[in-house]
Amino acid sequence: MKNAMAKTVDDETAGLAQSWPAAVDALLGPMYRFVRALAPAEAVDDLVQETFVAASHGIRQFDQRSPLWNWLTAIARNKIADHYRRSGSRGVLTEALDMLGSDHAQVQRALLSESALPDEICERREFQALARAALCALSPEQQECLVGRYYEALSLDELGRRLGTSRSLINTRLYRARQALRQAFLRLLLRNKEDHQESLP
């Protein structure tokens, strides 16, 4: 019985390996958008490539009971975490906070009051670096909800199909993910502000 089950798994994995080029073609665009939401622009190409290379090498270890997309994004998150460890993300965030200057207080007030920020602040590279760091602090499920909905512009039904859940549950997850992102952003701003003040003479 065990031999028969093992053969079935091997056959299924071999079938996935054969269809791998088509899967890469289909998921390349979404993966770029996912990584772009979490990593700096200059690192995106390398991180996407590293993700698919690692996936192609480990394709026989993929458990097909879960969606292929979930497996790929788990690999991508590991690659992104490695990138931030190598690049010293703490220094990058401190520099981004300093460059926000007087806008720091406005960002903090907006987050506390849950009001919208002006486009000119949201489009600043420093703000986006902090936003990516806040997004990275969320759970994988929260990341996928926010990236799928707001970076990829997926409908609630499309996002539900990707994550294997209902439209109503997606609405609940999105609400909680937005709240978690706001709190993560606030913690990041306050922590870096305290660190900056402690470093002053």
> Rounded to an integer, what distance in angstroms lies between the CA atom of residue 23 and that of residue 130?
32
pTM (2 d.p.): 0.60
Return the amino acid letter for 176. Answer: R
Region of residue 101 (left: phi > 0; alpha: psi -120 to 50; beta: else) = left
**With bands split at pLDDT 50, 70 and 90, how would you rate the model's confidence at 138?**
confident
Of the two residues 144 and 124, the one the predictor is more confident about is: 144
40: closest CA among 73, 86, 72?
86
In this prediction, what percent of the chain has a pLDDT beyond 70? 66
Specify the pLDDT at position 6. Answer: 32
Amino acid at 122: C
Res. 168 pLDDT band, cuts 50 70 90: confident
Q: Which residues are CB-contacts of 32 (< 8 A; sequence separation ≥ 6)?
A: 44, 48
DSSP summary character for residue 151? I
Tell me the three state secondary structure of residue 116. coil
CA distance 138 to 155: 21
What is the C-alpha separation between 95 and 100, in angstroms, rounded? 9
Predicted local confidence at residue 8, as pLDDT: 31
Percent of the chain with pLDDT over 90: 15
- pLDDT band, very low/low/confident/very high, at 46 (cuts 50, 70, 90): very high
Residues, the chain, total? 201
Q: What is the mean pLDDT of the chain?
A: 75
What domains can you pick out in the chain, each with its CATH number? 1-87 (1.10.1740.10), 88-201 (1.10.10.10)
Tokens (6 digits) for 9: 């798994």
Average pLDDT over residues 30-35: 90
| Averaged pLDDT for residues 153-177 | 89
How many CA atoms lie less than 13 Å away from 2 in the CB half-sphere? 0
CB atoms near residue 92 (< 10 Å): 16
Among residues 190, 168, 41, which one has the least CA distance to residue 108? 190
**pLDDT tens digits, residue range 61-119?**
787 777 788 889 989 988 988 887 776 555 455 555 555 555 656 666 666 666 666 67
